[in-house]
A and B are shown apart, each in its own frame.
Chain A
Amino acid sequence: MSEDVDTVAPEAVRERLATGDDEFDLVDIREADAYEDGHLPGAEHLTVEELEDVVAERDWSDEVVVYCYVGQTSVQAARLVEEYGNADDVASMAGGYEAWADDVEALADAD
């Protein structure tokens, strides 16, 4: 069994980005058209296949957050970075882009 990776809530990612914190790598592993339709600020797009190609060679930030549509495939992708990359902390964003979009929408409604 692979070890389960940490998860991070979309709210926590949003709060970090709001403070201008760009000291972590944010990776969107959804399909390219979904990324083009909308993504988290500063997120880099890598497909799972591209991630497999670069994960071991790339110099990762100390912290990496990976997200997908609903926070499931990002668990395996985060494990891949944790296993083969040089980051200290790797997390999957819980609930994925859907949860992020819901969080942003709720925030907008509250304003």
Chain B
Amino acid sequence: MPSIDDVTDAPDELSDEEAESLFEQADEVQDMMGEVCPYPQVEAKKGLQGLDAGDLLVQETDHVPCTENVPRAVGDDADARVWRSGDGVYRIYLEKQ
């Protein structure tokens, strides 16, 4: 079946192990389940403003387009990677630059 995931340009993907390890080290986690663009983009920008370089912000989302649109919105402010759970949950890892 066609999926929006097929046409979403997400950043590089993390393995399950990397994702879990990094998640435990996250400086801030934002629950964006059920939220759609542009709210997660706004919250990601606000979240990064409160962090220092090297800190990690993680967003959990079930809205696939966020995996492209959130990294694009924060631009050079963060290095972005994504983890797919396989059951509709995604995490966007944003390391502040």
A48 within 8 A of B: yes
Contact string against B for A residues 45-83, beta-carbon threshold 8 Å, 1 for contact and 0 otherwise: 000100111011000000000001110110111011001
The answer to whether B38 touches A76 (Cβ under 8 A) is no
* A72 CA / B36 CA spacing, docked (Å): 11
Q: Is the interface of B mostly helix, strand, loop or mixed?
A: loop
Determine, out of B64-72, B76-84, B89-97, the stretch whose residues face the partner at the interface: B64-72
The answer to whether B2 touches A73 (Cβ under 8 A) is no
Partner of B4, one of A1, A31, A56, A76: A76
Chain B interface size range = 10 to 19
The answer to whether B38 touches A1 (Cβ under 8 A) is no
The answer to whether B36 touches A73 (Cβ under 8 A) is yes
How far does the Cβ of B41 sit from chain A's closest Cβ, in whole Å? 8
The answer to whether A52 touches B36 (Cβ under 8 A) is no
How far does the Cβ of A84 sit from chain B's closest Cβ, in whole Å? 4
Contact status of A80 and B65, CB under 8 A, knowing A68-B37, A70-B38, A72-B38 = no
How far does the Cβ of B90 sit from chain A's closest Cβ, in whole Å? 13
Chain A interface size range = 20 to 34
Q: What residues of chain B lie closer than 8 Å to A72, measured between beta carbons?
A: 37-38, 41, 65, 69, 72-73
How far does the Cβ of A81 sit from chain B's closest Cβ, in whole Å? 9
The answer to whether A73 touches B7 (Cβ under 8 A) is no
The answer to whether B2 touches A77 (Cβ under 8 A) is no
Partner of A73, one of B1, B3, B69: B69
Q: What residues of chain A lie closer than 8 Å to B63, measured between beta carbons?
A: 48, 73
The answer to whether B4 touches A80 (Cβ under 8 A) is yes
The answer to whether B9 touches A52 (Cβ under 8 A) is no
Return 11 A-B CB contacts under 8 Å, by A number: A48-B4, A69-B36, A69-B38, A70-B37, A72-B69, A72-B72, A73-B36, A73-B65, A75-B65, A80-B4, A80-B6
Residues of B that sit less than 8 Å from A by CB: 1-4, 6-9, 36-38, 41, 63-65, 68-69, 72-73
